[in-house]
Amino acid sequence: MSDQGTVAIALAVITALLLAMKGRIHSVIRQMSMEDLRVTLQFALVAAVILPLLPNRAIDPLGLVNPFQIWLVVVLVSGIGFAGYILMKTMGASRGIKLTGILGGLAGSTATTISFSSASRETPAMSAHFSQGVILASSVMFPRMLLLVLVIYPPLLYMIGVPLVAMLVAGVAIVFVLQRRDLARHSDADDREFTLAHPLKISTAIKFGLFFTVILVLVEFAQGAFGTVGVYVTSALAGLTDVDAITLSVTQLAEGDQLKREVAGTAVLIAAIMNTIAKGFIAYFSGSPELRHTVVRAFGIIVIVGVISSAIAILAL
């Protein structure tokens, strides 16, 4: 009865709130096009209807496949496309995509790369903007990793700080050069007339969720099959989809003296470099020709900077 009472109170509060905002809601709905309404309802179905219905527990004998967590990846990829659509409608293509890239990088740069690369094929005229959004998202990944390490085990920053900052600076510098080049070619005044043809790529998001699951299983097997090399193999495989999980894992192991600081730092750097390489492949195979050309070259520069600075940091220990 107590649970039912809580639900009843919550529903009453939500109903009262909706009634109080009725005029504003009606105004927003009147301004929405049929495409806006379709996109909003699609994302609501993915995030608010399907996700809560999935079991948040492993359903396989190995304890690896969690339907809720896998669909959460789908929601993330779709959410970035949805956020980009809204920001582009309100701020224009250039500013909207760049802001989405930054916010997407805080949540998941791989998902942002997938969403923007796919969108560049739908709207090739905006490929230059999508390219900068992808590079920005990947650049934001590096300070995010530094923040995770700072919170858990600050001494590790002495090893990984310089390489990750170097890759961040390289990414931001590339975006700055690309933006100056584009401003010299044309004005951003016409950006507002462009919109995403299909802002929610649900099929792309689902494919990425399945790929994420396969990598998750491979990482688990690699981790148990090797010694110290297994940590590096795991980092490389985990970096193909995400850097947060492996960064948190090895940093916590180093903090508890279960893993040498040098090994943990190397693992974090391997994950960052491998993730950048993986996103380069994603852009190459799923993006428009212009995005493919720009992003692959940019990521190539970032990887070279990362490899050289990482080697210097490791040799300096």
Mean pLDDT of each 10-residue bin along the chain, 317 residues long: 54 63 59 68 78 82 74 72 68 72 76 85 86 92 88 89 95 92 61 48 66 63 68 84 78 78 90 94 92 95 96 86
Domain interval for residue 99: 31-190+201-315
Distance CA 28, CA 33 (A): 10
User: Per the domain annotation, does 13 fall within a domain?
Assistant: no
User: Per the domain annotation, does 12 fall within a domain?
Assistant: no
Q: What is the pLDDT of residues 24-50, one digit of tens each?
A: 555 655 666 676 677 777 777 777 778
Q: What is the pLDDT of residues 102-115, one digit of tens each?
A: 877 776 788 788 88
Distance CA 100, CA 80 (A): 7
Number of domains in the chain: 1
Structure tokens at 234: 């795991």
Distance CA 93, CA 56 (A): 37
Alpha helices (H) in the chain, listed in sequence order = 2-20, 22-31, 34-44, 51-53, 67-91, 93-107, 109-122, 127-152, 157-185, 202-225, 228-238, 244-255, 261-286, 289-315
User: Per the domain annotation, does 304 fall within a domain?
Assistant: yes
User: Per the domain annotation, does 206 fall within a domain?
Assistant: yes
User: Per the domain annotation, does 66 fall within a domain?
Assistant: yes
* Residue 112 φ then ψ, to 5°: -65, -40
